[in-house]
Structure 1
Amino acid sequence: MDNLTPVTYTLSVHEVARLLAEETSAARHGSHARIGQAVHRRLKRTRHWRTEIRLTLRLTSPHATLDIQGRLDALEPIQEGEHLIECKSTRQTDTPTPTQGERLQLQLYALMRWRQTGTLPARGSLLYLNPDHDTPMPVPVDVTEPTLRALEHHLSADLHPLFDALATHRARLIPRLRHLPFPKPTRRAGQGRAMRHTYRRLSRGHRSLLEAPTGTGKTLAVMYPALRATGRRHGDRIVYLSARRSTRQMVSQVLAPIARQTGLRILTLEAQDRLCDQAHDTPCDCDPAASALQQARSDALKQEAWHMDQLVTLARSHRLCPHRFIQHLSDWADVLIGDYHHVFAPRGGLSLKPFGQRTLLLIDEAHNLHERLCEHLTCELSLHKTDPWRTLPLVRAIRRLPAGAWHRLSTLSTRTLTGTTELLAGWLSDWLARWTQPGDLFQDTRPEQAHLNTLLKLLTLLEQPPETLVFQH
């Protein structure tokens, strides 16, 4: 191995719970999270709780050290000891059923608190909050000693070996990338200078813009120094983005012999209908129990190099959806190849710092980035699915507006809304604040894209609305 010093991976409690529950990373950044945070703050201000308790847990082995970190939402002193509370936002009016990941998240906090203080928590609760109501809905969670000991064993026996395997793989890979020869017999004019500039900027953690005519080999002039920089530990993984599928396929073909030579793990992120047979006609439902995913992931991590055809075959042999399986493996890849939306779309779901790893982000054909970002932040709102919004307090407030106000909003809704999210959301929020009460939906929220989308949906409830309302950032 290149270095016998254990590699340290920094994981959030949310990441660990997601891995143990085998949930996909696409749900990392839910649009309701910001609203939930605002409601959490409002609830905590009304309770005599200790809030935002920082907790850590370290697991060590010869090859990998896991540094698990997180902040418990609230701690309530009770007669029996400590009551641990984790807040969650929900749209349900009845008490919801916690997901496995939510239960594991609180149990991880309980384990970390137990190891930190030496005292077993007395109780644990998930506190669900609906932003339209002030009444919290608590759900008890088992934080007894047998449960926490079983969770600790699960971390040591099932999760930690995955990171041992990742550290071992990277230790074999790094010296091979460090001495990686240029994959072409000759270099084109200007390639050498571009590669030296790119390597220098990447090794120092700086940004850079490279412009060159088509056919000069600029893609390889960026990818090759990025691989060498990874071999010098200036980064842990590479994410390559391009707007064109043909370019992504070309990069994958260029990297294929390098993968065979070095053991590089390459993943190409494709649309679901290109990987899953069921996705063409019906929603994909070919995911079995989490145990099959664990076994398939374990089999994949035993392979030195990854090839997409082999991974798709492996997924199908375990009766897994290939698209979802590739998503689950994305955090463990050395090179990820994808479209812009995997990083820049509001629900792209791709983390640039999984397990605390440093990512070298390469954006090819960047002149397409502005147009694609406008597409990702453009909303077309249909008038046929507005019934659920009629129950919101803010909708009821808007429908009580005087005739003059209705005319003003109707005029606004009949044209394309163009401008920045901050300006438009701020204008709408300030104007609507005069017609809402403190307990309404948008109290204490930030004017972000998700909230703006909701505001725009409300405009479809106006008298004689247009067929389609478009917002372009």
Structure 2
Amino acid sequence: MPQEKIAVRKLVEFVLKKGSIDNRTVSLHTAQEGAAIHRKLQKQATEPEYQKEVALSYEAVIEKDHLLVEGRADGLFRAEEDWVIDEIKTSEVPFESLTEETLALYFAQAMVYAYIYAKEAHVSQMRIRLSYYQTTEKKLTQQTKTYQLDELTNFFEQLVKEYHRWLVFKRTWRKHRNKSIKELTFPHGSFRPGQRALSAVVYKTMKAKRTLFCEAPTGTGKTMATLFPTLKSLGEEEEDHLFYLTAKTITRQVAEDAMEHLRQAGLKSKSVTLTAKEKICFLDKQTCNPVDCRFANGYYDRLNEALWDSLHHEDTFTREVIERYAQKHEICPFEFSLDISLWCDVIIGDYNYAFDPNVYLRRFFDESNDQNLVLIDEAHNLVQRSKEMFTAAIDSASFEQILNNSTNDVKLKKTTTKLINELDTIAQYLHDTGKKEHYQKAKSDTIDNLLLHWTGQVKEQLAKQANQSTDEQLLETYFAALRYLKISELYDHHFETAVIVSDTDTIKVTLVCLDPAPLLEMRLKQTQGAALFSASFQPLDYYQTVLGGDEESMRFRTQSPFQEKQQHVMIQAGIETVYRKRDQTLPHLTEALATFVQPRVGNYLIFFSSYAYLQQSLTAFRQAYPTIQVMVQEENMSEEDRSHFLTAFQAAPTKTLVGFCVLGGVFSEGIDLKGTRLIGTAIVGVGLPQMNQKQERLRLYFEDQEKDGFDYAYRLPGMNKVIQAGGRVIRDEKDYGVILLIDSRYRQPAYRQLLPQHWQPASIRYDNQSIKKDLRQFWASVDNIL
């Protein structure tokens, strides 16, 4: 039998971890900080010949299966006649507040090291010293226990025996999976135009363990064209997991559907779709602690039973399946989905599970030897999303509220007051200089130190109040502070600090990520292969730059699978849509929109750069054309409202329906209105972000990097939204439709050259009568085809 490997810590935690989920005890320090504390304590050890980071391994044989258990003991030294394993742990929680389950887990890990060393050294007795360092008080507590070899042997043998059934399950499933992948053929019989070429380049990328940036127009069948070859590579290379990451729920559903098609074609694969905690939580509020949530209480006591049950009965872990088993075993559905993911071949979820420094899946991406392949769908969205992931803020109002409402803890009140005073000092400086905003290329070490002290005290208080409900405002501010500190650790010249004082004198300090590319690159290099793809990756070199590509990254662009006769693209270049000209050009714009929708009865979408511009145009349109039915995208629409909006766009309508929407909003990408459910899209403007301090700072940053600052901060993000909105029209080979771009700036080659190749050549017109003539000719040609 081939040898399986497992880390000591993973083995112990998987088999023996008990107790509850409690988000109040989140560790503040990073792995690097923990390692630094370990090194400090190891250096301070007074024992003669103290050995640190001792590599230990042992091959256990269970019923002909070989399991290599390996790890590094923090310390090893001789005390009198015994060898001692030193197990170092660090946390903000006082030693006396640690739960019995936590202490038992600490000693269990050290017992494995003690057993391995006892076997190597042929000794009959070992000692274990737990060295626990409380970081906030800088207090070291040590506890020592003595174990006989037979006691350690019984413990270890029982541990690996319990794990053995999971090992057999994993090996058996992997064998079935790989066999099915080897025999799997493309599920749709034939490839669409461009789909085979895309599949081939994705396969080569994964085999070469590189990163691919790919533009594939709508209709290429990107989901299947990337999933199929990556699964092939997964089976051949014995990789563990395939991540399919998206920005929106609707594209996760497309990935689920593709997996189902592959299963129908013979694939044996377990997949899980990760749903955001706030959506899948069984409670109204995410109070993730054993006091406030029965699904968190005793979670780890019931977890393995739930895993065994579900893994033997299900292959597809959708939200509904996760919720069903979570209810059955009375465990948290969100954490259960994360734990089941370790046993799944395909993991479908949001970008943040791989990239967000606060919520990424450490169980996958903190291990350098993990074999993960990553597909990133609609990757143009990752540009803005990643900036948000690596940005964090704190504000004075939150701390003032805590001071007014909170606890009698004197130390916490004192530190909270110091924090508020520091923020007030900054606010006073801005006031004295007549400013409301301040930007600098450095963070505040004073704020960092105060926050570190404050969060440590909060965690200590939460540990002392483990049997009580927690103040929501305190917990919310605590997590915001943790996020701020996490981002502060990453702070370098790709960041800047923004300080803004509101009209109510609240001061907000934000660590702004201007360029997440180096952080994205680091994560991409941790994978065994990655493909980032989108229908709007124009120009490719821009996206390769801002999304962490390097000189070894691969690039590929497919042709549109649709025929030129299916779509007609027009530019109305005679209307200025810039803010100062909108009142003047509104009548001309209103006429252009009516001209666009009147030649043929059908469903249309019109996109505007802002809600204000939408409302202005909507009012004028309704007054001028009251008989044309309209639907309007409202701000902050619920999922039910969105569904109602889209349902109105029915196939083969007898009356024209026009949807007024916001460019870059929920209806400008990710929706799939096939056939006659949508026959035309008009886009008013070029999508430029509003000019403000935020965008100007971004422009200046990229100019300092010798890039085109205006392109990077304004033009390219704006035109991406235009392309996405236009991509709603032609969804398959039976669709016919029109796209109208309205803005005088399209006269400039700098904008037109960013339009997709399959939109070329676009007809440039300067009057509405020419637009009407073009439309009549196009629809007449369509009628001749149909």
Task: Bin the TM-score by the shorter chain.
Answer: 0.7 to 0.9
Q: Counterpart in 1 of 2:89?
A: 88
Structure 1: 5+ residue stretches without partners: 434-440, 442-447
Which deviates the most, 179-188 or 19-28? Answer: 19-28
SS for the counterpart of 1:286 is coil
Instruction: Assess if the C-alpha contact under 8 Å between 2:187 and 2:262 holds in 1.
Output: yes
Q: Deviations over 1:190-230 (max 9, x none)?
A: 11111111111211222211112223212221111001112
Change (3 A) 1:77 1:415: farther
Taking the aligned partners of 2:57 and 2:167, their CA distance within structure 1 comes to 18
Taking the aligned partners of 1:453 and 1:69, their CA distance within structure 2 comes to 30
Change (3 A) 1:214 1:142: farther
Report the CA distance between 1:76 and its aligned residue: 2.8
Amino acid at match of 2:378: E
Report the CA distance between 1:334 and its aligned residue: 0.6
Instruction: Find 1:368's aligned residue among 376, 381, 388.
Output: 381
Amino acid at match of 1:13: V
Work out the number of aligned pairs and report it.
444
Taking the aligned partners of 1:396 and 1:217, their CA distance within structure 2 comes to 57
Instruction: Assess if the C-alpha contact under 8 Å between 1:241 and 1:364 holds in 2.
Output: yes
Change (3 A) 1:310 1:429: closer
Report the CA distance between 1:66 and its aligned residue: 2.7
SS for the counterpart of 1:71 is strand
Q: Counterpart in 1 of 2:294?
A: 285
Report the CA distance between 1:130 and its aligned residue: 2.9
Q: Counterpart in 1 of 2:37?
A: 39
Taking the aligned partners of 2:356 and 2:157, their CA distance within structure 1 comes to 37
Taking the aligned partners of 2:389 and 2:4, their CA distance within structure 1 comes to 32
Report the CA distance between 1:177 and its aligned residue: 0.6
Change (3 A) 1:60 1:205: farther
Which deviates the most, 132-141 or 250-259? Answer: 132-141
Structure 2: 5+ residue stretches without partners: 404-410, 450-456, 458-483, 514-786
Change (3 A) 1:164 1:415: farther
Q: Counterpart in 2 of 1:343?
A: 354
Per the normalisation by structure 2, the TM-score is 0.50
Taking the aligned partners of 2:132 and 2:430, their CA distance within structure 1 comes to 38
Which deviates the most, 65-74 or 114-123? Answer: 114-123
1:176 paired to 2:184: no
Q: Counterpart in 2 of 1:264?
A: 269
Report the CA distance between 1:36 and its aligned residue: 2.7
Percent same amino acid among aligned pairs? Answer: 22
Q: Counterpart in 2 of 1:152?
A: 156
SS for the counterpart of 2:234 is helix
Instruction: Assess if the C-alpha contact under 8 Å between 1:17 and 1:102 holds in 2.
Output: no
1:125 paired to 2:159: no
Report the CA distance between 1:126 and its aligned residue: 1.7
Taking the aligned partners of 2:308 and 2:358, their CA distance within structure 1 comes to 27
Change (3 A) 1:46 1:397: farther
Q: Deviations over 1:154-199 (max 9, x none)?
A: 3222112102111111101111111211122432211111111111
Alignment of 1:27-426 (within 5 A): 30-33=27-30, 34-48=32-46, 49-61=50-62, 65-93=66-94, 95-97=96-98, 99=102, 100-141=104-145, 143-145=147-149, 147-233=151-237, 235-259=239-263, 261-280=266-285, 283=288, 284-287=293-296, 288=298, 290-303=300-313, 305-308=315-318, 309-350=320-361, 351-352=363-364, 356-383=369-396, 384-385=398-399, 407=429, 415=437, 424=442
Q: Counterpart in 2 of 1:469?
A: 509
Instruction: Assess if the C-alpha contact under 8 Å between 2:352 and 2:360 holds in 1.
Output: no
Q: Deviations over 1:210-259 (max 9, x none)?
A: 11222321222111100111222252320111111110111011112323
Change (3 A) 1:453 1:215: same
Change (3 A) 1:176 1:205: same
Q: Deviations over 1:10-31 (max 9, x none)?
A: 3222212221234799999954
Query: Larger RCO: Structure 1 or Structure 2 (Cα < 8 Å, ≥ 6 residues apart)?
Result: 1
Change (3 A) 1:74 1:256: same
Report the CA distance between 1:104 and its aligned residue: 2.2
Taking the aligned partners of 1:188 and 1:257, their CA distance within structure 2 comes to 16
Taking the aligned partners of 1:237 and 1:112, their CA distance within structure 2 comes to 30
Amino acid at match of 2:316: W
Q: Deviations over 1:76-98 (max 9, x none)?
A: 32113122211122224554426
| Higher Cα radius of gyration | 2
Taking the aligned partners of 1:407 and 1:339, their CA distance within structure 2 comes to 41
Report the CA distance between 1:125 and its aligned residue: 2.1
Taking the aligned partners of 1:347 and 1:409, their CA distance within structure 2 comes to 34
